[in-house]
Structure 1
Amino acid sequence: MKRNLFIALFFFAASVPLQAQQSPFIRLTETSLMHESRATPSPLDKEVVNDRFVSFQWPLPLEARPEGAPMDGFEHLVKKVDKSKLAYKIRYAQDADFKKGLVQADTRWPFFNPEKPLTPGIWYWQYGYVDNGQTTWSKVLQVTVGDSKQKFCPPSLKALLAKVPKTHPRVWVEKENWHSFIGQSINKPERQWYLERADKVLATPMKSVKDINTSQVKNLTNQMQINSYLTRESRRIIDAEESNTEAVIRAYILTKEKKYADAAVKRVFTMMDWDKDKNVKGDFNASALLSLCSMAYDTFYDQLSDAQRKQLLNAIKEKGTDMYKHFNNYLENHIAENHIWQMTLRILTMAAFSVYGELPEADIWTDYCYNVWLARFPGLNKDGGWHNGDSYFTVNTRTLIEVPYFYSRLTGFDYFSDPWYENNVMYTIFQQPPFSKSGGNGSSHQNVARPNSIRIGYLDALAKLTGNTYAADFVRRTLVKEPDYMKKALLNKPGDLAWFRLQCNKPLPEGPGLTALPWGYVFPETGLASFQTNWDRVGSNAMWSFRSSPYGSTSHALANQNAFNTFYGGKPIFYSSGHHIEFTDAHSMLCHRATRGHNTILINGMGQRIGVEGYGWIPRYYAGEKIGYVLGDASNAYGKVTSPLWLKRGEQSEVAYTPENGWDDVPLKTFRRHIVHLGNTGYIFIYDELESSEPADYTFMLHTVAEPMTVDQNNGKYVHVQGLSGRGGASDAYIFSSGALQTDTTSRFFVPAHNWLRADDKGNFKKYPNHWHFMAKSEKSKVYRFATIINTHALKHPAKAPEILSDGRIKAGGWLISVNVKTEGNAQFFIRSTKESVSISYKAGQETVVNENGYETRMSDVLPELEI
């Protein structure tokens, strides 16, 4: 039943056209689909909101928008402002003239969550900017509120604050439940983990900020490198001592033993001002100390003297105020402020509630933290995906669980009933199946070789909190192999959920497991897709992933629109290349973030823009029982880098966005990449539609990271490229094209991967290996087409080359393929199975048609629902 439901949902999402759409094809002209800072109100005018409460949000005033935000020609108006003095008004009613049932409010932030959910029906609203007592109102906007019985409607701040205990501790355990919590923890392994770590800490001398290694500063060439290096080295000390001290605090909560309290208090007061040292850099260090101060205040409140409590309150006030100043009138409008969402918002939230009622500033902090969570989080889009990629997704783990779990404990409301969490389970599973490499998107994806212990702990929490049995099966499969796997995450700053497991006594749910899932899943707002052939045995699973994203390549995302990766047995084969040394390091920018590092296409040797302007999107998709399909459009992704934010970052890092480095205007009009999942054969079919306003050349790229590729051009019909996983898997690509291709392979990066940052605790710098790169460059033409058949399989079962029939059709893996790769005529293909009743057809400008099991599905372009 579950699997059929998934299929039905995919049919609906992919095949229902926009009401105003006349043509099946949408050509976008927008500079970007997303913005670094909000450029549109939410809800949009005439929007229908059915699945959750309405949160009103709008752009910052022009003079307050951060660099990189769209200014719509008013750049000359931009000036620095005192954000604490910004003020807004909002009004809403079911009467367009605002004469009946009007609700009006003042707010210090560009968002407003009504105290009570709006009743179903049509509502009208306006937001206003207040300046010197005068209000400039927006146009009247309309939103229709649906009457779904499953609508997510959490309590108001007022209701939440009424439940905050007056006593301490109140955050990591409630005083009135402390004794029972200790009793319930006795038989849980996590308790022993904390006590073992705490006892080890008590026997080990503390390190100091004087131990920060500054020896490499003299070898660095610019301030960006110096700051990054000192941030890393100071975090090495502070993160270690933070986790040590946190272990001792938690050991005290679990035992109430005085030795832990004495040691923890001494440590916190020793570390309290470490952020004032000149060699301590970065917001994570400051937030670590805020976290320890607030934990100590809340946990040891009854043991502390008045002077100690006052000293901690002053430290919390100072550090929390700095943090809030940064968040205020910025975070709520920003596309995805990484560090804040990852950790610092969670830390300020817990600190605010620790001192609520005792520090006046906490009144504002609790208001902001709670309401910005409701307005923007837990997900930054509806589909549950994470545009920054799998490596950086797990940095958000504690925030995604601990913050809403704390709110749930306070209010009794289930914050995990937000539909985003169910969608996010699918992202977490499909982008990295059990024991498999991640989908290969976002900074540092190379490091995610298998679902780490943080990811398993996250799935364990979601399974228990949402009742999701797919997540439960994922966890069970992992723990059968390694029962103590989640212990590896113990006291991991962003990802350890051991304390959650001590608090939550729910068991893993029983029910359908991974084999009940569909073979593929698409996340249209995030712009991701992945398909596989075997949920039950990872060793024989052929998987592919794909990205074409409205987020472009900002934040930790990469310039890899319309790129794919292949995997066998959980290991990567044709895979994104390059190394994430540092956020804007030359190699990271030119070989890892840049388009040349991915399995996509260059236009005249140029890649995709850095920033939100370098976007793609997924207009159509289908996930059936016997066939799957994804269409990506990267027509707007290429050109010069224009983002003020990224231009500034390039300047600071001495990275030039020049034609020599791969960025320039190109005459591209269309780049649409179709990928067809040919059942469970391990075969996929890729069709590239390329068109430019003047003749251009098109470079088809493949990369491997485990072993060199082999290239065979002896067959005059196609180029055969084989990639190996290094673990018994292979992907054989057969590339058909409109004309002759000029090919090249190399094992050298465009810029060497020089590690100047990531040393171990002994000062040894890890060396980064080279990867292998294949390029096939076309002759110049206005129109060009590639058709690629990829067979991903066990190496011990050699691939059979495609058979080209007398009528020009191609036979591969039990499928017959008719495709036009000529520059003349319409772009089109028709594929049918020789064994089952299933087919797919496409012709340029028309619908994509799938026939499966006697049912026909017709797909037109559909824009994803986006906001910001």
Structure 2
Amino acid sequence: MYLISWRFQIIGFFFLSASAFAEVQDISTSAIIPRADLVWTTGLPIVERDALDQELIAYPIDGDTAGVNPPGFCWTPHEAAKRYRIEVSSKTAPDALIIVADRQLSTVYPPTKLLMPGDYRWQVVYLNEFGRPWGLSKTRCFRIGKETPILVLPNVAKLRKEIVGVRPRLFLVGDRPSTIRKEIDEGRVDHWEYFLSAANGAIDEKPYAEPEGYANNSFNESDWRRILKVGKVGSAHLARTALAYQLTGDRKYLVAARKWMMNLASWDPRGIISHDIPLPGGAVGNDEASMALLERMAFAWDWIGDELLPEERERILEVMTERGNQVLAVLHQQDFLSHPFSNHEGRSLAFLGHAGLSFLGDIPEADDWLDYVLRCYLTSYPCWGGDDGGWAQGTSYGSSYVYRHSTFAEALCRVTDVDILRRPFYKNHGYFSLYFHPPYAPMNAFGDGGNKGQAEKDRSVCEKSLIDFLANTFCDSVLKWHAQSINVPSLHLKSNLGNETNWNEQHLEDLFSLLRAGTYEPNAEMPVPTVVTKLLPNIGWAAMHSAFGDADNDVWVLFKSSRFGSFSHSHADQNTFQFHAFGEALAIDSGYYPYYGDPHHALWTQQTLAHNGILVNGRGQATKNWNAIGSIEHYERSNDVTIVRGEASSAYNQSPNEEIAKMWQEHLGKIHPPILPKVEKFERTLAFVASAERPILVVYDYLKSAHPTSYDWLLHTLSKMEVEPMSGSIVIRQGKARAAVRIVASQPITFSQTNKFTIPSGGTTSHLPRQWHLTAHTKNNVEEAKFCVVFVPFREGEVSPSIKVIERKNTVRFQVGKTSTAVWWGPGELGEIDMCGRHYMGRIIVQTASEL
């Protein structure tokens, strides 16, 4: 059934779900047909509410073309609903139901049949405890195009029957091993030398003892890393030696793989390396380590399982049944289908998917593992971005997580007809990386790990590998250029940190580069340098480039105002921006990321104080809070000018996280700032003029609070800034790039600058350089305040460009060369602006040379 030219296969089988869903369909055909005897529900009130903390929003989006056929339906829950019914009808027969899935517990539904091309509407009916309807969602419309990719939920029982005799089935299907061997012989496999060295090193390594638990049964970062290290390295040894045996046929690798397989199987699957299993004394199992074992023991079972003795196979099946069931139990407990925002469980999907595929036909529960995983991937996951491919936690976490999910998607598609990568998210994610973290960017964009790349130009091997895979998968020449342009460090067993061996146990990029060797590769094609702006509405991010793709000339700005709040690996950074020019970072997200929850990370890096934002009464936005949200209210582009506006007042009005409040007092010696006064308005408007001659960024802020208060305008850089307090002029110098900055405020301001954090960075980041932090503080307490700041980049050796400020009644105008920008300076958020004698109603007016 499998096809070797896996990216170009035609899906020809569509299966009815084995679960008890009441989908209306004719199972003798491959498409759903309408039923005239079941009709669209009417006559009930519309009671749908907005999504709350960690809840899904509706998909398909009203008026959009669905990303795949059929779409994976998602909706927002209602606390009074005990179950749900989803109804779908076509535009041509609006009352007859094509799909009716009754008594749903989760707020997602993946249909098991195709929809014919056309226009459709859908709604959710809310049911009470007796299954009776009492309310409705909004009615939404969507389209299925003739070219909409096909992605149907399969029947896992039928999949099992079709692949039960296929071994190996994970990646090495059919003649893939011989293809990979040929690529190795011809020197076309990245990291082959490292892989072989690491596999040989695993032969010499003695089996590891099962790690001891936490000292005093209490979590601490040092013990957590010790336990994690043993689990990940041991399982990496297993995966590499098992694959080395498959590719070389050398039985020394089989002996080593059996050694590591049985070593890991000897550990208590309900012990310290388990998936969050409660342990005596109050500690819980280290799920980071257990996920690695689940994935890599599944690989080894597929690659060497037939070589094990019967008693060894019995032990493996016993252990892996327990490990897989642990993960599925947590997913069910969280109702992950409906609430897919737990970070570790999101990652565990890929690992449980690999285990489900590998043990399908050997462990009865593997059917359930794979079925649940597929339902997630076809509906609510990935949850951190929509079809536009964004990842709300940031580019660093995006590349790491999507890399893992891509490995399962690839394994699945090679041995079945189910191609998760048909969802538009995956191709668009490659462009998310390109727009927001181009190969010449010195730092990541927003969120945890954003400082990566600051200490050295090298980027992660994981990111490069992911983009290269997406380029090959979608035959995309621009993404291929992106991948080839990412500079990464070479993999060596000898670590830069003392005598420690670098086993590259986190992502195993060397192993996956082998598994992906010999696939089609498009020619790399650099994008034509041009003005490119991109808005990702789902995550509330915008990127604006003056010469996209041109490392020497591109000036770009990133802006964020997101519905995802400061939850998880996102920061309290609504309505903040980053600014880059000529390959240098000029206005940065400051701080480092030693580990999640580290005092520096929690009390600086994740705080508004560390970003190019604003403090109100000395306080920033709430951290670790889903409801600390922003929103992009306006976005437009006209020729070289792009204007984007965000609103983020709600982010300041959330109660502080209790854990953060305790850390604030413990480490900073003071009480967390109160959430008074209420912030009624925080609008930030960015105007980016992408002129080839002189790019300009204008940041215009309007703030209003319930009572008079102070405001602090924040700016962060890698090097000390030159500040002239009297004129509000600032010069930023970084590498070969410079920026002239002019700040004007509606109230008198004072300037201060420091290179100290409120709490120092420690651990693995203690050696990294200090950064510089500027504050423009209003001298008087006022209800309303406005700031307008103009950034003009220039190169080392050039004369600093002039920024003229002309103040008129209720208007401030900035003149930079032939570009004029005028902003409303009277009371309220907008008014009549005087632009060189012409009057316009609005917030900001930009006039370029082409408009004179």
TM range (shorter): 0.7 to 0.9
Matched, 1:365 2:369: yes
CA–CA separation in structure 2 for the residues paired with 1:683 and 1:365 = 53
State the partner residue of 1:710. 722
Three-state SS of the structure 1 residue aligned to 2:773 is strand
CA–CA separation in structure 2 for the residues paired with 1:288 and 1:392 = 18
The 8 Å contact of residues 596 and 602 in structure 1, kept in 2 or not, is answered as yes
CA–CA separation in structure 2 for the residues paired with 1:182 and 1:137 = 62
State the partner residue of 2:565. 552
State the partner residue of 1:333. 338
Residue deviations 1:174-231 (CA, integer Å, cap 9, x gap)? 267545554455333244442232123223444444589x7xx69xxx95xx343322
Q: Percent identity?
A: 19
The 8 Å contact of residues 168 and 301 in structure 1, kept in 2 or not, is answered as no
Three-state SS of the structure 2 residue aligned to 1:332 is coil
State the partner residue of 1:54. 71
State the partner residue of 1:445. 450
Structure 1 vs Structure 2 CA RMSD: 3.9
CA–CA separation in structure 2 for the residues paired with 1:603 and 1:105 = 49
Code of the residue aligned with 1:321 in structure 2: it is N
What displacement does 1:320 show? 0.6
The 8 Å contact of residues 392 and 570 in structure 2, kept in 1 or not, is answered as yes
What displacement does 1:561 show? 1.0
What displacement does 1:265 show? 1.2
Bigger shift: residues 194-203 or 805-814:
805-814
Code of the residue aligned with 1:322 in structure 2: it is Q
State the partner residue of 1:777. 777
Code of the residue aligned with 1:150 in structure 2: it is E
The 8 Å contact of residues 669 and 691 in structure 1, kept in 2 or not, is answered as yes
Which residue among 617, 622, 629 is the counterpart of 2:643? Answer: 629
What displacement does 1:116 show? 0.7
State the partner residue of 1:248. 241
Which residue among 102, 113, 117 is the counterpart of 2:114? Answer: 117
More helix by share: 1
Which residue among 720, 728, 737 is the counterpart of 2:736? Answer: 728
Residue deviations 1:420-439 (CA, integer Å, cap 9, x gap)? 23322221012112232234
Residue deviations 1:66-103 (CA, integer Å, cap 9, x gap)? xxxxxx9x9xxxxxxxxxxx987656556999876664
State the partner residue of 2:4. none
CA–CA separation in structure 2 for the residues paired with 1:511 and 1:300 = 37
Matched, 1:170 2:159: no
Which residue among 320, 326, 332 is the counterpart of 1:322? Answer: 326
Code of the residue aligned with 1:748 in structure 2: it is K
The 8 Å contact of residues 632 and 673 in structure 1, kept in 2 or not, is answered as yes
Distance 1:339 1:113, change over 3 A: same
Code of the residue aligned with 1:242 in structure 2: it is S
Matched, 1:259 2:252: yes
State the partner residue of 2:316. 312
Distance 1:806 1:563, change over 3 A: closer
CA–CA separation in structure 2 for the residues paired with 1:514 and 1:664 = 47
CA–CA separation in structure 2 for the residues paired with 1:265 and 1:842 = 76
CA–CA separation in structure 2 for the residues paired with 1:175 and 1:376 = 32
Three-state SS of the structure 2 residue aligned to 1:116 is coil
Which residue among 143, 147, 152 is the counterpart of 2:149? Answer: 152
- Matches of residues 520-559 of structure 1 in structure 2 within 5 Å? 520-535=533-548, 537-559=550-572
CA–CA separation in structure 1 for the residues paired with 2:72 and 2:243 = 36
CA–CA separation in structure 1 for the residues paired with 2:839 and 2:345 = 46
Which residue among 396, 408, 414 is the counterpart of 1:391? Answer: 396
The 8 Å contact of residues 641 and 657 in structure 1, kept in 2 or not, is answered as no
Three-state SS of the structure 2 residue aligned to 1:514 is coil
The 8 Å contact of residues 125 and 134 in structure 2, kept in 1 or not, is answered as yes
Distance 1:831 1:263, change over 3 A: farther
Matched, 1:36 2:48: no
State the partner residue of 2:298. 294
CA–CA separation in structure 2 for the residues paired with 1:170 and 1:591 = 47
Three-state SS of the structure 1 residue aligned to 2:562 is coil
Residue deviations 1:575-606 (CA, integer Å, cap 9, x gap)? 12222333334332221111111111112222
Three-state SS of the structure 2 residue aligned to 1:445 is coil
Distance 1:777 1:843, change over 3 A: farther
State the partner residue of 2:201. 200
Three-state SS of the structure 1 residue aligned to 2:147 is coil
- What is the TM-score normalised by the length of structure 1? 0.79
State the partner residue of 1:698. 711
Three-state SS of the structure 2 residue aligned to 1:637 is helix
Code of the residue aligned with 2:478 in structure 1: it is Y
State the partner residue of 2:686. 675
Code of the residue aligned with 1:293 in structure 2: it is M
Matched, 1:229 2:222: yes
- Matches of residues 395-474 of structure 1 in structure 2 within 5 Å? 395-412=400-417, 414-449=419-454, 450=457, 451-474=459-482
Residue deviations 1:359-407 (CA, integer Å, cap 9, x gap)? 1111111110111101023463232111111221222143232122223
Bigger shift: residues 457-466 or 137-146:
137-146
CA–CA separation in structure 1 for the residues paired with 2:663 and 2:105 = 33
Distance 1:544 1:668, change over 3 A: same
CA–CA separation in structure 2 for the residues paired with 1:515 and 1:346 = 36
Code of the residue aligned with 1:420 in structure 2: it is F
Which residue among 598, 615, 621 is the counterpart of 2:629? Answer: 615
State the partner residue of 1:189. 189
Please list every run of 5 or more consecutive structure 1 residues that lacks an aligned counterpart in the other structure. Answer: 1-31, 63-71, 75-85, 760-764, 833-839, 856-868
CA–CA separation in structure 2 for the residues paired with 1:730 and 1:169 = 56
What displacement does 1:137 show? 6.4
Which residue among 646, 662, 665 is the counterpart of 2:673? Answer: 662
Distance 1:173 1:128, change over 3 A: farther
CA–CA separation in structure 1 for the residues paired with 2:78 and 2:469 = 40
State the partner residue of 1:270. 263
Three-state SS of the structure 1 residue aligned to 2:306 is coil
What displacement does 1:814 show? 3.0
What displacement does 1:640 show? 3.4
Distance 1:138 1:116, change over 3 A: farther
State the partner residue of 1:604. 617
The 8 Å contact of residues 819 and 828 in structure 1, kept in 2 or not, is answered as no
Code of the residue aligned with 1:662 in structure 2: it is P
What displacement does 1:544 show? 2.2
Please list every run of 5 or more consecutive structure 2 residues that lacks an aligned counterpart in the other structure. Answer: 1-48, 275-284, 496-501
CA–CA separation in structure 2 for the residues paired with 1:632 and 1:852 = 27
Higher relative contact order (CA 8 A, sep 6+): 1
CA–CA separation in structure 1 for the residues paired with 2:430 and 2:618 = 38
The 8 Å contact of residues 154 and 418 in structure 2, kept in 1 or not, is answered as no
Distance 1:92 1:605, change over 3 A: same
CA–CA separation in structure 1 for the residues paired with 2:514 and 2:272 = 38
What displacement does 1:828 show? 6.3
What displacement does 1:238 show? 2.1
State the partner residue of 2:745. 737
Three-state SS of the structure 1 residue aligned to 2:136 is coil
What displacement does 1:160 show? 5.0
Code of the residue aligned with 1:549 in structure 2: it is S
Residue deviations 1:664-719 (CA, integer Å, cap 9, x gap)? 13332221111111223242111112223433322111122x2222221233xxx1
Three-state SS of the structure 1 residue aligned to 2:622 is coil
Distance 1:469 1:660, change over 3 A: same
CA–CA separation in structure 2 for the residues paired with 1:825 and 1:310 = 70
The 8 Å contact of residues 817 and 830 in structure 1, kept in 2 or not, is answered as no
CA–CA separation in structure 2 for the residues paired with 1:497 and 1:621 = 42
Bigger shift: residues 176-185 or 461-470:
176-185
